[in-house]
Structure 1
């Protein structure tokens, strides 16, 4: 199930981050703590609809506060230290005098905070603060993710993958693309593919025409592999088995089957990704590769099919090539 796939990935990456923060803290390496302030601000914004920003953007070195949401009147501290003393020390800061009525959130990024949520705390400035609700840790965030609707869960998955995913290994891309093309292209069909340069302006028009602005960044990220994939198709097709056409047909079939089932273009786009991934994993000749590498290749294939006019509607006069 896609829900299980998304949750497992998010859980793994957050747990690894928490473990690294704790271990590095023991040898006084605190760079991850600094970067985590913005990461967790964005994550909480996705999970709870906040508009938290790093307080240093507004004013440098604010004592006892890392994040602020001026719209929903929330202030937060992001910390790898998770003790009653740490929270009470934060609640004593005079900064709360300048933010009357703001709710205080304490975000533990490395340690479990379950027992602290059952404690009471000295709160001299009477900040809005409920330990049961306002002390957040990785486990409590994962509970929220687990119960999200599938589309929202996918959004969190994409965010975590972008922030915490592995760097792309170009050599592995080459090998994995070849493997996946072979899996998808099991039939010897005849057709030809063109090998043009990408016309970015025209692709942007197609994105707007299909209401895919929410995935424009994703398309931009993966269209850079266009020439590499084109080279693979050419290499295979030169051998006489037109695998490019087979791959296009499989991707187009998924698009055709689901275009009337999905409520919006973004959902349709990601459903194609999921279905192609499932086809590959369930193939008899699939040799398992790390999931991130598999998904990377599927994204490349589907974005390429989008660029080449194989899926989604084309605006009038659309041309993905630069006229010579």
Structure 2
């Protein structure tokens, strides 16, 4: 029973790493760096009984390999880019590093799920097999499942010790980036497109005339929160809301959601904003994570200015 429990815990931790990588890839960030490549070197050493060291720690930075096992002459590229082009680039790069008289091997440690590669990867000076030498989290878990109970326990304890974010996930608040990403994912991936609300984009009229009693409050909210969240919002929003259909879904859904909230709160934008923060937080926190409510609030205030929250419906236009 302990073995089964330990393997399940390892599966959860590896799944968290993969989910984190996929989340950051949506922002076109570089590969996730949990504790530098050393983390992955030590993990692979435990699982595969190898002797990887971090090439970057040895001041041997190169784009083709992150880890190297000198004893077994094995190079490893740690990446989240699952394309044939990336693998070919790694093969060519490692072959430029080795001499033909050495029996060198390349492993690709893929931090995302492995696709079905149809390409035949031709090598000249190194050993590389796409079936055996491309290792994703699922394959890594399979390898771990073949280990004895003592090794399984060691791997589990290693992951738990190093992935502090896992141990503290119920206690800590997610970053503003993660929070905003989750909001956008939720709003732009609804199953159906909300009815279009006939509206006019005029934030000045909305804030200074329609909500004149709350104008200073809205402006102050934006200014105060911008200092902490402005850069994150700009980065995330520009990266994720770049698809026309998703943008339309996002905007329509947000308009519909906020109009309903405003109606319930009898046209009080402050109260409606409070309710929207609670509603969105409840939705995205359903997975047990604790998100940054202030980041949610700033996102909604920014959308007030973009006229997707409390839209200027034509019937209210000046």
State TM-score, norm by structure 2.
0.49
Structure with the greater relative contact order (CA < 8 A, sep ≥ 6): 1 or 2? 2
